[in-house]
Amino acid sequence: MADEGGEAVVLRTVITMIGAVVGEDYLEDLEVGMGTAFDQDLELESIEFVALSEKLMEHYGDRVDFITWLGEMELEEIMNLRVGQLVHHITACLEA
Amino acid sequence: MPFADANGVRLFYQRLGRGRPTIVCVHGLVMDNLSSWWYTVANAAAARAEVVCYDLRGHGLSQRPREGYSVTDSVDDLVGLLDSLGIEGPVHVVGNSYGGVVGLALAVAHPERVEGLILVEAHAAVETLHAKARRQLAEGLDLAGLVLDDGDVNRWLESLGGRKLNRMATSAKDLIYHTTLVGDLRSSPPFTEESLGQVECPVQLVFGEHSDIFDRAEILARLLPNADLHVIDGMDHSVLMGATAQVRSLVLELASSAG
């Protein structure tokens, strides 16, 4: 079994989930990496980011705490989130 | 993805945290959805209490039927959601703009389901204000529709806004022009002084100092028997986004109260 908590694997999972939310077609012309911003680069609608977090919660279950993490952020921080920050949070939770 | 069948409509919701009290967040009209609460208050409050946010019918990821957008329909949807989630006891409703109207209408129609209210910039029409209030709410929506339908503005949105703004604009136009929302709201009856006088639960009213609907703050504070008015200095109608810390603080206080 591949190392589910490895950064590269988590990044692939996050990208797959983004595709599930916005549609694979939309991602075809975009290169999504750790530095990609959800708002500025992907132009995710805020309700789509909620849907993404829901899918990630369904995937990782209690092993990753999104609620506390997001609850400690200011609105602007969530708006400016980059894929890498999300990946780092997930990997940190999986390693803990 | 969590959807509930409520009052015959499929509603998208988020149920976060656990324990008591239960706080239900209701968003505003047309350009809004549950994310405005989810981004600002809900996750923080969920560390201390159970929080439910949902997309009103026609909004966000919820189903968009062509009709059923009166205030009474919104209340029936909310009751249906609570029933569907098995939440029988009274809840605190935290509503922004039209969401505040829904919370207040729930407290009037089903007082046994409501433990308390936080109404942020509640767009409530009261009988003494009715002609003016109804005109403002409905014409505000018509105006948004007219602006969005203007070719120049549409082209400007497309060139400047990209995917996100285009999707929001398209969705708003569909809601305004292809559902009964505007007409349903226009024909929704106002709150009567008598019905507001019977709302016994504690109500926190939060309004911006420069809000264009500050007349609602004054009349609600006068007619609701157990209301406190919080006026946010220098703020207009956009209190939730512009004064998030103050709103969050009120909700966190509530979340810590353990009913």
CB atoms within 10 A of CB B48: 20
pLDDT at B92: 98
Q: Which among A51, A68, A72 is the nearest to B1, CB-wise?
A: A51
Q: Which among B46, B60, B244 is the nearest to A71, CB-wise?
A: B46
Please give the residue range of the domain that contains residue B225. Answer: 3-128+190-255
Best B11, B23, B38, B39 residue to mutate vs chain A (most A CBs within 10 Å): B39
Distance between CA atoms of B95 and B154, rounded to whole angstroms?
Answer: 31
Task: Decide which of B9 and A1 is more confident.
Answer: B9
Task: Decide which of B259 and B193 is more confident.
Answer: B193
Residue B161, pLDDT > 80, answer no
Residue B150, pLDDT > 60, answer no
Distance between CA atoms of B247 and B119, rounded to whole angstroms?
Answer: 10
**Tokens at A65, concatenated:** 């705490």
Strand order in the sheet with B227-232: B3-6, B9-16, B50-54, B22-26, B91-96, B114-120, B203-208, B227-232
Distance between CA atoms of B203 and B106, rounded to whole angstroms?
Answer: 13
Best A45, A62, A69 residue to mutate vs chain B (most B CBs within 10 Å): A45
Q: Which of A7-16, A26-35, B146-155, B180-189 has the highest mean pLDDT?
A: A7-16
pLDDT band (50, 70, 90) for residue B31: confident
Check if A57 contacts B (Cβ < 8 Å). no
CA neighbours closer than 13 Å in the CB half-sphere of residue B68: 19
pLDDT band (50, 70, 90) for residue B110: very high
Q: Crossing angle for the helix pair A83-95 and A7-22, nearest 10 degrees? A: 130
**Tokens at B76, concatenated:** 């029936």
Say if B162 falls within a structural domain: no
Q: Residue B245: which CATH number? A: 3.40.50.1820
pLDDT band (50, 70, 90) for residue A4: confident
pLDDT at B143: 47
Q: How far is A82 from chain B (nearest CA, A)?
A: 15
Say if B163 falls within a structural domain: no
pLDDT tens sequence across A47-61: 999 999 999 999 999
User: Hey, are the CB atoms on A67 and B45 less than 8 Å from each other?
Assistant: no
**Tokens at A64, concatenated:** 């990753």
Distance between CA atoms of B244 and B259, rounded to whole angstroms?
Answer: 24
Residue A3, pLDDT > 50, answer yes
pLDDT at B258: 63
CA of A59: which chain B residue's CA is closest?
Answer: B1
Is the backbone of residue B12 left (phi > 0), alpha (psi -120 to 50) or beta?
A: beta
pTM of the model: 0.92
Say if B180 falls within a structural domain: no
Q: Which of A62, A55, A69 is nearest to A13 (CA)?
A: A55
Say if B222 falls within a structural domain: yes
Mean pLDDT of B237-254: 94
Say if B181 falls within a structural domain: no
Q: Which residue has the tokens 């007619």?
A: B223
Check if A47 contacts B (Cβ < 8 Å). yes
pLDDT at B164: 80
SS3 B69: coil
Say if B9 falls within a structural domain: yes
What is the residue extent of each domain of chain A? 7-95
Best A30, A48, A50 residue to mutate vs chain B (most B CBs within 10 Å): A50
A–B: how many Cβ contacts below 8 A?
55
Q: Crossing angle for the helix pair B71-84 and B98-109, nearest 10 degrees? A: 70
pLDDT tens sequence across B47-78: 999 999 999 999 999 999 999 999 999 999 99
SS3 A67: helix
Q: What percent of chain B has pLDDT over 90?
A: 70
pLDDT at B178: 92
Mean pLDDT of B80-98: 97
For residue B147, the one-letter residue type is: V
CATH topology of domain A7-95: 1.10.1200
Check if A50 contacts B (Cβ < 8 Å). yes
pLDDT band (50, 70, 90) for residue B182: confident
Say if B210 falls within a structural domain: yes
Contacting residues of A for B244, CB less than 8 Å apart = 74-75
Instruction: Give B126-174 as a DSSP string.
Output: BGGGHHHHHHHHHHHHHHHHHHHH-HHHHHHHHHHHHHHHHHHHHHHHH
When divided into structural domains, chain B yields a total of 1
Say if B221 falls within a structural domain: yes
Distance between CA atoms of B91 and B251, rounded to whole angstroms?
Answer: 13
pLDDT at B214: 93
Contacting residues of A for B38, CB less than 8 Å apart = 46, 50
Residue B155, pLDDT > 70, answer no
Q: How far is B171 from chain A (nearest CA, A)?
A: 12
